[in-house]
Amino acid sequence: MDDTQWEIVILTGAGISQESGLDTFRDKGGIWSKVNIEDVATPNAYQKHPKRVQEFYNARRRPLIEGLIKPNAAHNALARLEKEWSSENRGKVTIVTQNIDNLHEMAGSKNLIHMHGEILKARCQKCGNILICNTDLGFEEVCPECTGKDVLRPHVVWFGEMPLEMDHIYALLEKCALFISIGTSGNVYPAAGFVQFVGVNLNVYKIELNLEPSEGATLFDEARYGAATDPIPLFVEELLLNGIPSRN
């Protein structure tokens, strides 16, 4: 990166996909108000009740496979930002998403890290092979790599498991000039700690775009509140026009 390039890291959470029709986790009526985390989102849950866990993810995978869920104006605006920022040679835009849906890629985002995995993939517990999964996952499937049976689990990160690509993410956070946090409540670590991590560098501008103040709201330089399809396209427009805001 030379002095004229400015890297942007965007952290997204469930809030960005809410207007596409996907439930968030901790809002009223959200996923964790309907099922217990301990029953579906821990390695222990999968060990004890594999069928229940597979069914929880099968039910969330189906609407994506059936094409019922589409990216919204917020996903589209971020894809536009990545494209235009790099074509104008201003630097690189990377989205680090906690979401396991595929809406960022459907919108056209290319530099994308799924730190909590992808629901449209399965992972072999025996050999680590990761494969596309666009059907219900049960216990009959065989891993095409190691031919193991009963070994395919959803490629998602449960509580107590290490999120994916953490070294890559921290390397990006270390050199970014702008950190944008979108649609996340700031309850789940390590993602919730990213704003503090980038804040060590006093030149990084940190903005939160969310429906309401997150747990870490006071750590940002600026916050704009509203449903994602409102402030995000507007902020992208401003960014492309005026560049990254200064902290001074």
By CB under 6 A, residue 54 contacts ligand BJW: no
Taking CB under 6 A as the criterion, the residue among 28, 87, 189, 242 binding ligand BJW is 189
- Active-site position among 114, 116, 155, 168: 116
Residue type, 216: G
Taking CB under 6 A as the criterion, the residue among 116, 153, 155, 206 binding ligand BJW is 116
For residues 211 and 208, what is the distance between their CA atoms, to the nearest angstrom?
A: 10
By CB under 6 A, residue 216 contacts ligand BJW: no
β-bridge mates for residue 209, sequence order: 182, 224
CB of 246: closest distance to ligand BJW in angstroms?
Answer: 26
97: part of which helix (H) or strand (E)? strand 93-97
Q: Which of 125, 132, 124 is nearest to 102 (CA)?
A: 132
Taking CB under 6 A as the criterion, the residue among 120, 137, 151, 157 binding ligand BJW is 157
Q: Which of 100, 82, 99 is nearest to 91 (CA)?
A: 82
For residues 62 and 138, what is the distance between their CA atoms, to the nearest angstrom?
A: 14
By CB under 6 A, residue 53 contacts ligand BJW: no
Answer yes or no: are the C-beta atoms of 11 and 182 closer than 8 Å: yes
Active site residue 116: yes
The binding track of 85-104 with respect to ligand BJW, each residue x by CB under 6 A or -, is -------------x-x----
CB of 83: closest distance to ligand BJW in angstroms?
Answer: 22
- Using Cβ positions, the residue closest to ligand BJW within the complex turns out to be 15
- 100 versus 143: smaller Cβ distance to ligand BJW: 100
**What are 116's two structure tokens?**
């909590």
Q: Which of 114, 76, 112 is nearest to 228 (CA)?
A: 76
- 13 versus 91: smaller Cβ distance to ligand BJW: 13
For residues 114 and 147, what is the distance between their CA atoms, to the nearest angstrom?
A: 26
Taking CB under 6 A as the criterion, the residue among 14, 53, 64, 176 binding ligand BJW is 14
CB of 148: closest distance to ligand BJW in angstroms?
Answer: 23
Taking CB under 6 A as the binding criterion, the range among 43-51, 86-94, 134-142, 160-168 that sits at the site for ligand BJW is: 160-168
Taking CB under 6 A as the binding criterion, the range among 2-10, 127-135, 172-180, 183-191 that sits at the site for ligand BJW is: 183-191
Answer yes or no: are the C-beta atoms of 84 and 240 closer than 8 Å: yes
Task: Report how far apart, in Å, the C-alpha atoms of 218 and of each of 25, 187, 201, 215 are.
Answer: 22, 14, 16, 8
Burial of 81 by CB count in 10 Å (0-12 exposed, 13-18 middle, 19+ buried)?
Answer: buried
By CB under 6 A, residue 20 contacts ligand BJW: no
Catalytic residues: 116
Residues at the site binding ligand BJW, with contacts judged by CB under 6 A: 13-15, 18-19, 24-27, 30, 41, 98, 100, 116, 156-163, 183-185, 187-190, 210-212, 214, 227-228
